[in-house]
A and B are shown apart, each in its own frame.
Chain A
């Protein structure tokens, strides 16, 4: 399994003050960017990238890993405080984190997010480190058919987050799927629904959609409220701390959601946001109080954050072992390795095993820094809850606009964001839920890509989906999960949760 000699060699590589300092700098910078809406992790990496050209490889990677780890977590702070996912990964955190903050439990929500992120990060990195030599080729087992089966399984999440009515959830999901089709078709590259607007060719960016869907309706609703009640303070209170007992009581959630997130993380191309939703879904499915989800459940925050942070360790496995980066951030990390003459791929493990271990060890270092820096950020969050509604939400409006623009630098995104926002407001009034909308938007293109690619490979035959154990397993899981969701809906009918909605 883990070669201890090499492990000690790699410890020597990273236990230098400049490496550790670079890592801390990365964490602080990543946190700053992560908590600023609209500044994505990738932007943090890009601004820091030219610096790394002149560093030694260890320090460069330490800096980038610090940013990488923190940016995944950082998005959750704004998701909880102002319903604006700072990064796409935090979309699932909004669902329960923001209601908790509105109920005056912001502190618990933020702490839950931080501790769950930290726990899942450590767990998944341990898993990645231990199994790295064994599963180096794991990603190769997942062809188009297998990825398709995993996505079909993930799509059953929609039922779980549909709230009051499965029908409304499915309607929201169809909208999400359709909007995701704007732009170039994933297989042939021909344009769809672009209506001659050139910027539509690139499709709608996920942050454009998330900010429109979650933030704008919230601003409009709070605006009406603020106008009526004039001098209301937004929330006013951070609420109590989370106790250690509370934290420990959710341990099955951390394990389950980390496992789900790790699986998706190890498959290139799926990325953090599906993992967050999968983590959320696993938390809900096995929860004793599934009816609290969406209304402010700490378990929901734990599931979402454990899910997306469990990606960070395993996502490095296909990148380093096969040279196939899972998402944009890992692609940048890979670029940095390449610049320093370390070519990720099948040879790296043979030529520089101590380097591979040092990357995982640096992840631990980064996670520990994240823990302390994150605790500091939670203290500062009180400024947000003390801000009066009539000032906080106008400021959020401006930040949302800058953020949407900054992602790709086009006004078409800003206009689309407001269009989605107005649509989202109308949907919200009719209680057509936003979460299935977002999930379908994220999974839709992956679904289409995998389906059509598998059909090309099989020459149009559907047998390909039943030709491997992996895909049969996941398709069976999907069927079971869909059945269980229908049961959950039936069970929740007439309960407290349903009543809260009808009142």
Chain B
């Protein structure tokens, strides 16, 4: 008996995609908080209600309020159930921290990618992001990484800019876009 308890205190790390009881409790509390915060703070602050509709079912704030209350109630129910029900799907234990770290790494690349689009423009940022992600996901052959990072953004640039006429964001340091503008100006000269 005693030996069983000792092993039970150190459960094996579980798969990232298995809901844990701990996760259930955290999620439930977050839902409850989001509902309350929404009802008491966000709706009054961020929904503009013209005076003539205040307090009616036709007010722009009516359904948001209803939905936040529902969310809070559901969150409370979720909390109660995940605390009392042993037979529920939730597993005891924790996801391995390294899995979380790996997932967080991908998220960081995504954030970096968005920032890079602002900084150096869509095409260059995409080349960097695709190379970084491929490397991060475990591909190490430099030629493979380089060729995808080169070809993919070029194809996308050609299609979106030249055929579909999508205007890409103007970057702070748009090297490719700068080059493109220069080439267009150059073509105008001829």
Contact = CB atoms under 8 A, between A and B. Distances in A.
Q: Do A and B bind each other?
A: yes
Contacts of B93: none
A55 B89 CA distance: 61
A388 B53 contact: no
Given A47-B163, A171-B71, A193-B46, A223 B139 contact: no
A134 interface: no
A441 interface: no
Contacts of B42: 193
A430 interface: yes
Contacts of B133: 223, 393-394, 397
B83 interface: no
B130 A394 contact: yes
Nearest to B26: A430
Given A227-B102, A448-B63, A406 B130 contact: no
Interface in A203-233: 216, 219-224, 226-231
Interface residues of B, number: 68
Q: How big is chain A's contact interface, by range?
A: 35 or more
B99 interface: yes
A185 interface: yes
A140 interface: no
Given A174-B74, A195-B46, A395-B148, A165 B164 contact: no
B27 to A, nearest CB: 5
Given A39-B164, A192-B48, A397 B60 contact: no
Contacts of A228: 102
Contacts of A397: 110, 113, 129-130, 133
B114 A418 contact: yes
Interface string A405-428: 110010100110010011001111
Contact of A398 (B63, B71, B106, B129): B129
A196 to B, nearest CB: 9
Interface stretch (A295-303, A317-325, A378-386, A452-460): A452-460
Interface string B125-144: 01001100110111100001
Interface in A166-185: 167-168, 170-171, 174-175, 177-178, 181, 185
A429 B47 contact: no
A210 to B, nearest CB: 17
Given A167-B81, A187-B58, A422-B107, 16 more contacts: A171-B71, A190-B48, A190-B50, A191-B47, A191-B48, A221-B17, A223-B103, A390-B139, A391-B139, A394-B137, A405-B166, A414-B114, A429-B23, A429-B95, A431-B89, A501-B89
The 10 tightest CB contacts between A and B, nearest first, are: A394-B133, A390-B137, A185-B60, A226-B137, A174-B71, A190-B48, A224-B102, A223-B106, A390-B139, A230-B138
